[in-house]
Amino acid sequence: MNGFKKTGLSGLLLILLSFIATQGHAYDLVKRMKLMDDRFKTQDMLRPYGHDFLLDITAAANSDTQSLLDDVDKIGSLTGTTQQQVDQADVILSKHYNTEKYLRARVNLGMPIFSFSAFGIRWQPNLRVDAGLAALINVKRESVTYTSLVNNLDQIPAELRTALIACNPTQPPLNDGDDILAFCVGNGSITQVQADLIKATYGISKIPFLNSIVASSSNLPVFDNYIKIDAKAGMVVDYTKDEHWFGSFSLLALGRADLRKKLDATLMIAGGGGIDIGEPNTQINAVFDYKLGYKNSNYSAFAALEEVKIAEIKSETTKPVYGTDPLIRLQGQANYRLWLFSAQPFIGTHARSGYGFGDAYYFGADWGAHVWGDRLGVTLRTMADKEHFTFATRFKLWLMHLELMAKTPLAKDVDGVKVSEIYSADLRFFF
């Protein structure tokens, strides 16, 4: 046991040494989504499903997300010249600048299959279906030119963007608020069918002419949002071997669809604000998860690989920008119990393409008190990562539990974007 303790402490020390502050870089919405989404997957992992798991529903959001969406809706009904509407939009959105809003909702279904022993290993297979949506929004002021405005329309074909740029709406100059799309159709740069495609893709009535953009450039409010939908289905098998080894493996079909939309104030004025799915990039892959752990006395540690792509089942021409890189996870914890009370300190980290181990470390402890064979009780979690302090309370009531969680910022900002509070709730039923 002493040897295991030394090995475990050495491993934790190596993890700690990897937590060197990373250099700052430009805020990237997709990379940021990966880190935030995987942090919430860590919260899911810290309340393990178990073989008797049936249904789990979880949701998370910033407290002021609805305020932002309400303000964006106001922009579509502003009046006045295009420049006046842009100025009003600037005032409306000013309190949201350089902030991020995160939304997450998941439903997870499980159906246990009978447990059995074979080859000296205890096997516990489960059928699993997991589906969820996550969205990340960043609001900022950005220098926008006519060319950058068109290039941000990345949900339409590249050749159509090229035709719009070549359209040159300054020759002859349009009046404030005139429809650039109608002008480009009129001079033969694009067809009416193509113009209608752009309107439908971005939910806009037109692209209004704004002289300060077309003539040179202008600092405008920009609404940048990324939406991701995941769905997994397949078999998950937990296993234990003697009193030391444990783990799990799974073979799943993973479907993913995502969409990135970047709208400046002129497009929001035309009705393009808000979160909508539109025509997302989609892909379905066969993936494999594997976890291997070791425990001894009060201590345990494990390493895991998640979402390892085996084969592509189906995909559209444009694949999700999220990519298919796997998640790597490491964690160690201790388990103590005295009468009705328990304590489980833990430390861990994870990494995926877009962020590293030094971005994703966490440490904390679960403090519990349970009675009636652990059927009734309460667990308090205190936890910290590089950006948030997390406090969660979970109530266990025989065949269900309810967890409420708050993540309070420890860091002021990440790459110039303010770190916000996030609130979450989880409701689970089991046999």
Summarize pLDDT for 55-86 with one digit per residue, the tens.
Answer: 999 999 998 888 998 898 888 788 888 889 99
SS3 of the chain: helix, strand, coil, percent, to 5:
25, 50, 25
pLDDT of residue 276: 58
Q: What is the mean pLDDT of residues 166-189?
A: 88
Which structural domain range is residue 62 located in? 2-145+217-430
pLDDT of residue 4: 38
Q: What is the mean pLDDT of residues 341-360?
A: 97
Q: What is the mean pLDDT of residues 115-135?
A: 95
At 14, the pLDDT band (50, 70, 90 cuts) reads: very low
pLDDT of residue 170: 76
Instruction: Confirm whether 152 is domain-assigned.
Output: no
Instruction: Confirm whether 161 is domain-assigned.
Output: no
pLDDT of residue 242: 92
Instruction: Confirm whether 89 is domain-assigned.
Output: yes
Instruction: Confirm whether 169 is domain-assigned.
Output: no
Q: CATH number, domain at 62? A: 2.40.128
- The 10s digit of each residue's pLDDT in 181-229 is 999 999 899 999 999 999 988 888 899 988 888 777 788 999 899 999 9
- The 10s digit of each residue's pLDDT in 261-301 is 888 888 888 887 655 555 678 999 999 999 999 999 899 99
pLDDT of residue 273: 64
Residue 171, beta-bridge partner list: none
> CA 80, CA 88: separation in Å to the nearest integer?
10
If we measure between CA atoms, which residue out of 141, 42, 151 comes closest to residue 96? 141
- Higher-confidence residue: 153 or 275? 153
Please list, in sequence order, all residues whose beta carbon lies within 8 angstroms of the beta carbon of residue 353, skipping any fewer than 6 positions away. 34, 323, 325
Instruction: Confirm whether 9 is domain-assigned.
Output: yes
- The 10s digit of each residue's pLDDT in 240-253 is 999 999 999 999 99
Contact 329/350 with Cβ under 8 angstroms? Answer: yes
Instruction: Confirm whether 192 is domain-assigned.
Output: no
Instruction: Confirm whether 95 is domain-assigned.
Output: yes
Q: What is the mean pLDDT of residues 92-113?
A: 94
Is residue 5's pLDDT more than 70? no
Contact 404/419 with Cβ under 8 angstroms? Answer: no
- The pTM (predicted TM-score) of the whole model is 0.88
Q: Total domain count for the chain?
A: 1
pLDDT of residue 193: 95
> CA 146, CA 168: separation in Å to the nearest integer?
9
Is residue 3's pLDDT more than 50? no
pLDDT of residue 16: 44
Instruction: Confirm whether 204 is domain-assigned.
Output: no
Mean per-residue pLDDT over the chain, rounded: 89
> CA 56, CA 41: separation in Å to the nearest integer?
13
